[in-house]
Structure 1
Amino acid sequence: MKKIVVINIISLVILFLFTALFQLQIQKNTLESLSELKAPDTKVIKAETKSETKDQSTEDRRVVLLIGSSVTQGAGASAPQKSWAGLLNAHLSEQHPDLIFLNLGVGGYTTQDIVNSSLKITSNLIAENLTPDIIIFENCLINDFQQLTLIQSMKNIKTVVSKLGVQFPEAKIYVIPPNDVTVYTNRLSAEGLSYQDYVKEVGEYINTQDWNYVNFWKIFEKEVAKRKVTLEDTLVEDGKHPNDTGYDIWFEALKKQIDFSDL
């Protein structure tokens, strides 16, 4: 019995350290982007001739902002670069070398946490001369499902989208669901909804608001079938967070549905 307890404690410590490393990486990436702006606002880049130069201010740079929970943060991936956010960053950076990519995904966050915390951070971005061109809001239902009612989730999402619209009126805002999971199999919300129905109900509400809702689940499912894998094969052992395969499929599905030509 003591041996089992010790093993469980060690497992929890390892899980905590792994999660902490992801959070530190996200914070490091964000701080690097912010600190870069503290340097001179102009940068000399190569022009068509050696004698020509072009000044590029931070206002000309493209900015992509992500907001969400652990699956936006990248939990489950073998490295931050393997998450859907990391893959998207690499993809967009090829086209826009000066891209500023800010990931505010935080493990465990619900839509209420986004309202209480993330929106305070986004309100400070303007002071840092960071105005997003594209905002992708992963709606955190992966955590809301067992903690908030359907109405609370809908209300919070409306608050988030509305406030982001006020903060960044020129930004294109996309709302996306989290991934499908197996951890909630046979579990119901307090209102008697399955996880899949919970996500579906919120998605239908979002569509009634005429927002940009990117429900990538159907494309995800087709890609899963195409690769001849199962949903379980796209998740780590917790049955909740995607593994590298899951994040790769998520990225490919997302890329097909979001218009990044706005950058």
Structure 2
Amino acid sequence: MSEEKHCNHHFIVPRRGLPGINGKLGNQSHVTVAFLGGSITEGAGASEADTHSWRALTGKYLQERFPNKAFTFINAGVGGTNSTLGAHRLQEHVLLQGGIDLMFVEFSVNDNESDREESIRGMEGIVRQMGRLSPETDLCFLYTAAEKNLSGSNPFNIAVHEEVAEHYGVPSVNFAGRVYKETTAGRMEWMALAPDGYHPNDDGHALYAGYLREYLDAELIPGASAAAQSSDILGLPALEEHNYEYGSLLSFRTGHGEEFELRKLAADDPLMNWRFDTEHLYTDSLEAEYSYTVTGQQAGLLLLYGPDSGIFEYSVNGSPYTAVNLFDEWCPMAFRPIIAMFPVQEQRQEIAVKVRITGQKDEQSQGTSLRIMKLLCS
């Protein structure tokens, strides 16, 4: 092994490896690879996301390395979203596409940099959900660079994700660690590769793809005997008992709304971080109330928030109403998905939720409306 390869080795932690896809590369003609993450996975910063992002370049590498295989690549990156929503949208955005052989997971930049518990709930929920619904899928965690992930040898978000990876034997590739090493040694200027500090330009995406290719060059061995598969994941104790193993998105049609109307955003409405259907329930009426019931440990909403969104309130199982203001500095610019999570229940049970607008708004908002895209249940 070269000196440079040896120095970079500790940024790759192989753990259980990729036994499933190695077996499939040896004996099946079609392979499906999914990419679950935030805007960096989606391809933000690249001149053309579907050709120049690290995701697209990784797909190109796999197809060129295994020219006799037919590959399907699933882009399940959604900008500005964290592993909490990732666990809830996993089935709709990944598993409904069919059998998945390999899935890369990237949320270290978007997960909250102080909420260890929630980050574990999201990442562990993704791992356990795959172990339950798609046990033959190999997983690999990726850690991308941002200021908070370039703060030393063991940044908070990466350390938390590594807790989950180590517990379940998930391999990980630490892009941010490599970038930190190169920048502190004076061999790289990160802002030249990611002008906003987060989203790589074409050169930055190519750098990430090269780092991942080093791991895949060594790890992908078609026909290699499969070691213990992911099916034993559920035999391990959970790190966080309220993880999102059962996270899912549900249609708003499973609930009941009075004084709501069915809408979609118009073509000229500003929209970011969402490539999917914008159908939603809309209201700006104080007479409106939306109610739904799910069975699980926690309920929530996936809302379409934007320039005219107001303050809403919710009640769970008859509790007093609690007001929620999710309006932030991005809302005046465009509509985007934002999640509202309601309190965790002590045990899995029926959860009855009521939601209504308050008629109040953030001082920056143009209105008091509420838009419901999906229901969350775990």
Question: Which TM bucket (shorter chain)?
Answer: 0.5 to 0.7
Q: Note if 1:254 corresponds to 2:212.
A: yes
What are the Cα deviations for residues 208-258 of structure 1, in whole angstroms up to 9, with x where unaligned?
A: 33222222334444566899321222203x221111121111111111123
Deviation at 1:184, TM superposition (A): 8.3
What TM-score, normalized by structure 2, do the two folds share?
A: 0.45
Amino acid at match of 1:62: V
Task: Name the structure 2 match of 1:72.
Answer: 41
Q: How many residues align?
A: 191
Aligned 1:1-263 pairs, distance under 5 A:
60-80=29-49, 81-94=51-64, 95-96=66-67, 98-125=70-97, 130-138=98-106, 140-145=107-112, 149-177=115-143, 179-182=144-147, 196-221=155-180, 228-236=187-195, 238-258=196-216, 259-262=219-222
Amino acid at match of 1:232: M
Distance in 2, matches of 1:195 and 1:117, equals 29
SS at match of 1:261: coil
The percent of aligned pairs where both chains have the same amino acid is 23
Name stretches of at least 5 consecutive residues in structure 1 with no aligned partner: 1-58, 187-192
Deviation at 1:109, TM superposition (A): 1.2
Distance in 1, matches of 2:208 and 2:149, equals 19
Distance in 2, matches of 1:194 and 1:153, equals 19
Q: CA RMSD in A?
A: 3.0
From the superposition, tell whether residues 123 and 108 of structure 1 become closer, same or farther in structure 2 (CA, over 3 Å): same
What are the Cα deviations for residues 47-68 of structure 1, in whole angstroms up to 9, with x where unaligned?
A: xxxxxxxxxxxx7311111111
From the superposition, tell whether residues 212 and 202 of structure 1 become closer, same or farther in structure 2 (CA, over 3 Å): same
Distance in 2, matches of 1:184 and 1:60, equals 38
Task: Name the structure 2 match of 1:28.
Answer: none
What are the Cα deviations for residues 10-36 of structure 1, in whole angstroms up to 9, with x where unaligned?
A: xxxxxxxxxxxxxxxxxxxxxxxxxxx
- Name which of structure 1's ranges 165-174 and 64-73 shifts more when overlaid on structure 2: 165-174
| Runs of 4 or more consecutive aligned structure 1 residues displaced over 3 Å after TM superposition | 182-186, 216-228, 260-263
Task: Name the structure 2 match of 1:56.
Answer: none
Distance in 2, matches of 1:115 and 1:261, equals 29
SS at match of 2:35: strand
Structure with bigger strand share is: 2
Deviation at 1:103, TM superposition (A): 1.3
Deviation at 1:151, TM superposition (A): 1.0
What TM-score, normalized by structure 1, do the two folds share?
A: 0.63
What are the Cα deviations for residues 101-151 of structure 1, in whole angstroms up to 9, with x where unaligned?
A: 1111111111111122233333322xxxx312211111x1212125x7111
Name stretches of at least 5 consecutive residues in structure 2 with no aligned partner: 1-27, 224-378
SS at match of 1:254: helix
